Structure 1
Amino acid sequence: MKKEASLRREEEGRGLVDHLLSLLRSIKLTIFLLILLAILSIVGTLITQNATPQEYVARYGVSLYEVLNFFNLFDMYHSGWFTAILLLLVLNLIACSLERIPTILKQVLRSSDRKGIETSELKNLPFVERLGRLPFSENMVEEIRRYVRKSFGPCEKVETQAAITLYCEKGRFSRLGVPLTHLSVVIILFGAILGSWYGFKGFVNILEGEATDHIYLRVRDREIPRPLGFSVRCDDFQLIFYDLPGKTEKHVKEYVSHLTILEDGREVLKQAIKVNHPLHYKGLAFYQSSYGALYDATVAILWRDNKREKVTLKLSEGETTPIPGSNLFLRLLRYAPQVHNLGEGIQVALLGPSQTPQAFWLVRGAPLFEPPGGGTIALRLEGIETREYTGLQVAKDPGVWIVWFGCGLMILGLFWAFFFSHQRLWVRIPLDSSKEEIILAGSTNKNRLGFERTFTKLADEIRSRLGR
């Protein structure tokens, strides 16, 4: 009984494995996965990838943002579930190919064993023409062979006791076009998975004249610094405009960043990058992505009790600066070219212990401003300095060359599969013309119309030459 139960479990296990293998080899699974990937690609196009959490919240709201972020739809192409779908498609293609490759290799690598087939077999081929009965002669055989060679290339002469058969074959290796295309898809998917696992896409903003040795990766709702192993400096950033005579409005033609790569403080590479013209270094690609400006403001601090001397502070956008001689801080929030039509100005927040932060505007050229909660402090905006920065997208994709190789292989495979066919031709010439006719027969695995035209033309030429 134990032995029977064990055998039954083994059979059930084999049945489950066979069922899974059958599913994995299914063309329906291939079609389903391709449609699913197409839909997901559309979703990935509609949902901006790797933006900031603030942008997503502003666009979708907090609730929808949390749902989309949970499913990792903001970095979809690096998610585990997307990689799993690609792996399943790879396994599906490999399984489908392995099932068909033995038959294809047999047809491609083995010499045909049907060169001298009998008349009854020839009549069952897709294309058959009877060329009539003519007395056998070697000259006639060579003449027919010459016509066949002109249309189909070299042919082989097979002699039997009853007949001489001329056998011609071309395009045998075209049968490899389909498995080669399948292989190219597997290689492309492998390159994509490799890039997903070991590649990354980050960003960094660099002020003119400054350098950085790290970038930032957006992972879910966090920005994680990643060291580069070297430094990149922005020497200059330029906006180049179109020269449009008679037009006052300017249109940007190019964004250009002049970058320098530094190794241990030593300049090793200089290059100007533009949109779609990145800088490549150590497997990293630096793309021109955005640009902007940071504003520094010079603010004068005066005390209304005149007990202390005037202090001048240099404020940088986004930074908090202490006010000397007090427990207060100033934070430059943003710059505006126009503040209530009074001119350019800055929005500043006054921070202090045990008090609510107070935000207010300082306008250039305006008189002293006494901020609420500032005690005896009065403020005046004395100057604004603009510092431009370049926004770079930094990408590493170790699988990109594998993908390009796969694309080249796919072009070759598709060209082979669509524009070539495996064609075979037989001309059976009986030694005794009183018993059999001369038969022309052929087959092709595709492009039947093209083969039929060539086949019919050859039959007509042979008939004409033989006087039939």
Structure 2
Amino acid sequence: MSATRVETVAPPLDSQGFLRWAWRQLTSMRVALILLFALAVASVPGSILPQRGNNPLLVDEWIDQQPTLGPLLDRLGFFDVYGAPWFAAIYLLLFVSLIGCVLPRVGHHWTAMRTPPPIAPRNLDRMQAFSCETVDIAPADVSSHVSQELRRRGWRVRTGSDTAVDGDPGGVWVSAEKGYLRETGNLIFHLALVLILVAVAAGGLFGWRGNVIVK
């Protein structure tokens, strides 16, 4: 008896689907890191070669000393790296990638921080780390003590009580969660990076530089 192999063929992407796919790729953290690395590599010629914005005379002298390589690098924009179209393209792509990656995460993180911890499940014995102990203290006192201790350790706490259902007597419960500080620091770092890019772009658009030659 031979098995029949069924192959599924994905439908072709239309223009809207392709744009949605391209946007997801551009705003992914992997692409943002690649663009950040590409921007760092693209900035290397600006630190090694003389730049027209800083010393145009040194640029002309460098081109005269390198008659073969100099004009080629000049046409490619290596003597004006930070004003070259290819550098601006990497810069803009990185800016769009960070905006599209960070802003939705900020909104989701803000919503999650304002949302109280979830209600404790009724059937705790189904959880893997479940354990049970019996104490001679009122449930309300136990709940108050546990809540205070968790808050002291930096947990977000939510308390409540269950009503009796199908023979289950119910009782008080405490739910707690933590771990938002790391994501907050991560988002602050990326927002600071976006602000740096905005400041550099604003300085390049609205700033000016003058060169004076005194003999």
> Which deviations, in whole Å up to 9, do the C-alpha atoms of 1:200-236 show, x marking residues without a partner?
3332145xxxxxxxxxxxxxxxxxxxxxxxxxxxxxx
Asked if 1:176 is matched to 2:184, the reply is yes
* Aligned with 1:55 (options 54, 61, 66): 61
Matching of residues 59-70 of structure 1 within 5 Å: 59=65, 61-70=66-75
* Aligned with 2:85 (options 57, 80, 84): 80
Is there any run of 5+ residues in structure 1 with no aligned partner, and where?
1-7, 207-293, 295-468
Q: Secondary structure at the match of 1:166?
A: strand
Asked if 1:20 is matched to 2:25, the reply is no
Question: Do the aligned partners of 2:63 and 2:70 also contact (CA within 8 Å) in 1?
Answer: yes
Matching of residues 216-227 of structure 1 within 5 Å: none
* TM score, norm. by length of structure 1: 0.36
> Which deviations, in whole Å up to 9, do the C-alpha atoms of 1:336-380 show, x marking residues without a partner?
xxxxxxxxxxxxxxxxxxxxxxxxxxxxxxxxxxxxxxxxxxxxx
Matching of residues 185-196 of structure 1 within 5 Å: 185-196=193-204
Residue aligning to 1:43: 45
More RCO (CA 8 Å, sep 6+): 1
2:62 alignment partner AA: Y
> Which deviations, in whole Å up to 9, do the C-alpha atoms of 1:290-342 show, x marking residues without a partner?
xxxx5xxxxxxxxxxxxxxxxxxxxxxxxxxxxxxxxxxxxxxxxxxxxxxxx
2:187 alignment partner AA: P
Distance 1:122 1:16, change over 3 A: same
Matching of residues 114-129 of structure 1 within 5 Å: 114-120=118-124, 123-124=127-128, 128=129
Cα separation, 1, equivalents of 2:40 and 2:136: 64
2:131 alignment partner AA: R
Distance 1:196 1:122, change over 3 A: farther
More strand as a share of residues: 1
* TM score, norm. by length of structure 2: 0.72
> Which deviations, in whole Å up to 9, do the C-alpha atoms of 1:260-282 show, x marking residues without a partner?
xxxxxxxxxxxxxxxxxxxxxxx
Residue aligning to 2:36: 34
* Aligned with 1:91 (options 82, 89, 96): 96
Cα separation, 2, equivalents of 1:165 and 1:72: 66
Residue aligning to 1:434: none
What is the deviation of 1:88? 0.7
What is the deviation of 1:25? 2.1
What is the deviation of 1:47? 0.9
Asked if 1:110 is matched to 2:115, the reply is yes
Residue aligning to 1:266: none
Q: Secondary structure at the match of 2:79?
A: helix
What is the deviation of 1:91? 0.8
Cα separation, 2, equivalents of 1:152 and 1:101: 21
Question: Do the aligned partners of 2:82 and 2:88 also contact (CA within 8 Å) in 1?
Answer: yes
Q: Secondary structure at the match of 2:121?
A: coil
Cα separation, 2, equivalents of 1:19 and 1:153: 38
Residue aligning to 1:167: 175
What is the deviation of 1:86? 0.6
Residue aligning to 1:271: none
What is the deviation of 1:76? 0.9
Cα separation, 2, equivalents of 1:72 and 1:145: 63
Q: Secondary structure at the match of 1:167?
A: strand
More helix as a share of residues: 2
Distance 1:135 1:45, change over 3 A: same
Question: Do the aligned partners of 1:23 and 1:29 also contact (CA within 8 Å) in 2?
Answer: yes
Pairs aligned (count): 194
Distance 1:134 1:29, change over 3 A: same
Question: Do the aligned partners of 1:157 and 1:167 also contact (CA within 8 Å) in 2?
Answer: yes
Cα separation, 2, equivalents of 1:121 and 1:84: 56
Cα separation, 2, equivalents of 1:104 and 1:155: 18
Q: Secondary structure at the match of 1:157?
A: strand
Question: Do the aligned partners of 1:116 and 1:159 also contact (CA within 8 Å) in 2?
Answer: no
Distance 1:140 1:97, change over 3 A: closer
What is the deviation of 1:74? 1.0
Residue aligning to 2:8: none
Is there any run of 5+ residues in structure 2 with no aligned partner, and where?
1-10, 164-169
Cα separation, 2, equivalents of 1:36 and 1:150: 45
Cα separation, 1, equivalents of 2:156 and 2:108: 25
